[in-house]
Amino acid sequence: MSTELDPLERAALEAFRSGAPVAPWDGVDGGAWTGFGLRCLLEAARVLRAHAGSDARADLKDDGSPVTALERAIEVDVRARLAAFAPAAAFVGEEHGGRLPERGLAVALDPVDGTWGLLSETSTWACVLAVLEDGQPLAGFVANPVTGELAHARRGGAARLLRLSAFGEPARSQTLPTRRGEGGELLVHLHPTRAAEELRTALHAAWRRGEVRVVRSPGGSPAWGLTEAARGHHVYLNAWSREPAEPWDLAAGTLLVRCAGGDVVDAEGAPIDATRHAGPWIAGIGAERLARAVALARGTWPG
């Protein structure tokens, strides 16, 4: 399997390291959005990695979730970069809001998906950016500043995982999935929530019967869970809220899974709408494994 950077990845990484500005979009080259998204998340990941953990301080939002000054600053930075790159494109962000237009281009950003993970110094949080065209995902980017990985995909193309150098080795990139996932053992990643206790019990019963090889629940960023599903090892189950998803929630990760040859489906196995889905969903590579996970979870999702 090749681990060479593709031309867009190489150009984005070289520009990031040199500090070269991103040229404004010409309105034609769709690949330029890949370069834009990579650059935004490389810059954001550098800031987040430098200040994660003990340096980060959080306030609580109205819904009880934490937010840091880092997240607000990154959202302001990406909005400014978008204004220079494609002024006509809309911007919507987790921290400052905005409206996703029905027509045209837009960028949706969650500076930190899984802020409790950032604050507690785990490796399960991520920075997430989606480019949307006419309300549907065009390109998706999910960066994990702790592991130094950045996954990306553009509609109609491959899903890729960029691994940045940490110990002097060259940066590498792979096409996802790294494991195909048809047949064989079923490894399950269950997003932890108190509401999914019946589902957790059913999965552990399946594990005791030998129908499931592994049940894990690391928590953290759903977008990073989707990125892990795109690798092809685990099927990811999430008892998502009954409130519709925001454009920064699922669009990038769902595009990654689908460009890797998998799918993200609802409790009955039907593909979800990544920009407005409400309720449970399951993500994975391999139709047979995905169907097995749907069957195991059926009837156990929280009401």
Q: Tell me: the pLDDT tens digits for 19-49?
A: 999 999 999 999 999 999 999 999 999 999 9
What per-residue confidence (pLDDT) applies to 181? Answer: 58
The mean pLDDT of the chain is 93
Q: What is the pLDDT of residues 148-195, one digit of tens each?
A: 999 999 999 999 999 999 899 999 999 999 987 556 789 999 999 999
Predicted TM-score (pTM) of the model is 0.95
Query: What is the spatial distance between Cα 213 and Cα 191, in angstroms, rounded to a whole number?
Result: 17
| Axis-axis angle for helices 251-259, 222-231 (nearest 10) | 0
Mean pLDDT value of segment 98-122: 92
Tokens of 103: 């027509």
